[in-house]
Amino acid sequence: MTFLDQIFASLEKSGDNVVLQELRDGVPTAVTARQLFEKVLVARAYLRRLRLKKGDRCGLLAQNSVRWVAIDLAIMSEGLTAVPLYARQAPAELVAMMKDCWPSVIACGDPSLADAILKEWPEAPPLFCFENVFTSSRGPVENPALTVADQSVAAIIYTSGTSGEAKGVMLSAGNVGHMLGCTSGRLDQLMKGRPGQDAVFHYLPFCFAGSWIMLLTCLLRGSKVTLNTDLGKIAADMRSAAPDYFLNVPALLERMRKAVDEQLWKTGGLPLKVYRQAKGAWMRRQEGKSRAGDGLWLALANRLVFPTIRKKMIGGRLRALICGSAPLNVETQLFFMMLGIPVLQVYGLTETTAICTMDDPDGAVVPGRAGPAIAGIEMKVGENEEIIVRGPNIFPGYWNRPEETAKVLRDGWFHTGDQGEVDTVGNWKIVGRIKNLIILGSGHNIAPEPIEDKILQHVPEASQVVVVGNARGFLTALVTGKVRGEKVQAALDAVNPDLPHYKQVRAFHIVDEAFTIDSGLLTANGKLKRDLIAERFRSEIDAMYRTAQTA
């Protein structure tokens, strides 16, 4: 059975159970498994009327919704290839990706998206809106048999493009099927002993590989998935969904941690005192430096403070937070562990069908590491400490880019471009991206990410820290956000002594506004576009070096 056969069998089994619901202004709009299946059949009938050929590409441009899910499943069921795109991305960037793969049709969530594409690309292929599909007077497809083979390309998902233009990653039905078996197995471990449906909260765009894999896994498991439709209401929607688990990116967990600190600071009094003392005791315990009285403060916090934080933050039934897309700050992971909330990390790339490693819920979760390789996957460290991977999760290639494919798929191994290390029990740690390495004039190679993380730990009010220094004599940093210069300097004074001389940051420049997707300095999934940042702030960077060299 293909993964689609398995998902549809699960929907048939789930029947009248709610499997998806959208939250709009706190009000849920739910669909049962049977209703979702019927929507898929209606969408398949619509696609057949367009007389598309097997393997044709279908752009999918919309915010998360039940209809998005139905159309995505319908596209793949018809033997077509889905090309999901990020609806918040600039129209010019979206058009560049679509011109790269040239879809036969483009499905848009609403007319405004269609209008934006047509304005940028008047000669675009035919576009249709979701409304056209589901208000059609015609019925569902009459012959819903599936003809999807494992080698068929189920989706083309465009990579972030931190340097250079985005590439279309082809993922086969076989890639997806293997991954769903692995992710569902891990969730079985997490949920053992709890009867009934999994309750899952979801806010990350489905066009990202990890988010899409989580969605399909939930459909396979017959889970009840609550979709956030307004990022400004994540906190309230999270509590309303009362999830067992949900997928996160580090940025949200960082914001949640900072929000707790700020709220308790405003509250003051005994709760703040207990919280601060317990935090210190917890960190000392992790470092093996416990003091007399630490156990008492932790006991008080576990009785008086931590349960209230957990309830206000997420609700009462959460089993774990799942975090991917980038390494999570160790301090943040320890913070949630202190509250009694496990954080399970995942590492992977779009090219690995989103996942290579996952923390084992039954194993020892090591803060700062992303768990062992998943079943059937081989991983090892190659030249320059690069992580290389092989297995049934590895993509067949980039769309229409044989030379780029040959660069990363060599001798049966996928070369990730990530630097990493593995401990004696198989838990992986991601150090940084090889292409992000800073090469000083002295010849020293430096991964900027660990240094940036250390500085951010000391300046929590900063949004980003970007270390620069290619071909220079020393490192400097751009720091974004409403932060005082003396606070940044204090952070450098705390971090630098523990670093070798060539890794020390000797100057900084504060940028008042955080780098954002809209400013073009972050990718669609929030990663720094380092080359563009260095180019846009070239004069500020040059000034930093002139000042530091004359000081």
Q: Does position 442 have pLDDT exceeding 90, yes or no?
A: no
**Of the candidate ranges 218-222, 254-258, 518-522, 524-528, the one whose mean pLDDT is the lowest:** 524-528
| Nearest residue to 430 (alpha-carbon basis) of 490, 504, 379 | 379
Which helix (H) or strand (E) is 450 found in, with range? helix 448-458
Which helix (H) or strand (E) is 439 found in, with range? strand 438-439
| Tokens representing residue 267 in the block | 């509250």
Q: Give the model's pLDDT for residue 384.
A: 84
Q: Residue 18 pairs with which residues in a beta bridge?
A: 32
Percent of the chain residues topping a pLDDT of 90? 64
Per-domain residue ranges for the chain?
Answer: 3-244, 250-316+319-434, 437-550
Kindly give the pairing relationship between strand 409-410 and strand 413-422: antiparallel
Q: Per-residue pLDDT averaged across 53-78, rounded?
A: 96
Q: Do 64 and 202 form a contact (C-beta atoms < 8 A)?
A: yes
Let me know if the fold of 3-244 is the same as that of 250-316+319-434: yes
Report the C-alpha gap between 436 and 384 in whole angstroms.
13
Report the C-alpha gap between 244 and 321 in whole angstroms.
9
Which helix (H) or strand (E) is 96 found in, with range? helix 91-101
CB atoms within 10 A of CB 142: 9
CATH 3.40.50.620 for domain 3-244, yes or no, is: no
| Band of residue 175 on the pLDDT scale cut at 50, 70, 90 | very high
Report the C-alpha gap between 224 and 180 in whole angstroms.
17
Quick one: three-class SS letters along 215-245? HHHHHHHCCEEEEECCHHHHHHHHHHHCCCE
Q: Give the model's pLDDT for residue 51.
A: 93
Q: Per-residue pLDDT averaged across 25-29, rounded?
A: 89
Q: Does position 163 have pLDDT exceeding 70, yes or no?
A: no
Q: How many CA atoms lie within 13 A of 13 on its CB side?
A: 12
Q: Per-residue pLDDT averaged across 354-359, rounded?
A: 94
Q: Does position 164 have pLDDT exceeding 70, yes or no?
A: no
Q: Do 211 and 247 form a contact (C-beta atoms < 8 A)?
A: yes
Cα 344 off chain centre by: 13
Q: Give the model's pLDDT for residue 526.
A: 76
Report the C-alpha gap between 83 and 103 in whole angstroms.
8
Q: Per-residue pLDDT averaged across 510-518, rounded?
A: 89
Q: Give the model's pLDDT for residue 135.
A: 83
CB atoms within 10 A of CB 43: 27
Task: Report which listed range, 68-72, 327-331, 357-361, is most confident.
Answer: 68-72
- Helices in 359-430 by DSSP H: which ranges? 402-408
Q: Give the model's pLDDT for residue 478.
A: 95
The conformation of residue 373, written as its DSSP 8-state character, comes to B
Report the C-alpha gap between 259 and 415 in whole angstroms.
38
| Band of residue 501 on the pLDDT scale cut at 50, 70, 90 | confident
- In the numeric block, the tokens 């780098």 are attached to 515
79: helix, strand or coil: coil
Instruction: Tell me the whole-structure pTM to 2 decimals.
Output: 0.86
pLDDT tens digits, residue range 461-491?
Answer: 899 999 999 888 899 999 999 999 999 999 9
pLDDT tens digits, residue range 296-341?
Answer: 999 999 998 999 888 888 877 889 999 988 778 888 899 999 999 9
22 dihedral zone (left: phi>0; alpha: psi -120 to 50; beta)? beta
Domain with residues 437-550, CATH architecture: 2-Layer Sandwich (3.30)
Q: Give the model's pLDDT for residue 162.
A: 53
Q: Does position 117 have pLDDT exceeding 70, yes or no?
A: yes
Please give the sequence-ordered ranges of beta strands (E in DSSP) within 86-125, or none if there are none: 105-108
| Band of residue 196 on the pLDDT scale cut at 50, 70, 90 | confident
81 Cβ neighbours under 8 A, 6+ residues apart: 55, 56, 57, 58, 75, 153, 154, 155, 156
Q: Give the model's pLDDT for residue 251.
A: 80
Q: Does position 141 have pLDDT exceeding 80, yes or no?
A: no
CATH 3.30.70.20 for domain 250-316+319-434, yes or no, is: no
Q: Give the model's pLDDT for residue 324.
A: 87
Q: Do 110 and 130 form a contact (C-beta atoms < 8 A)?
A: yes
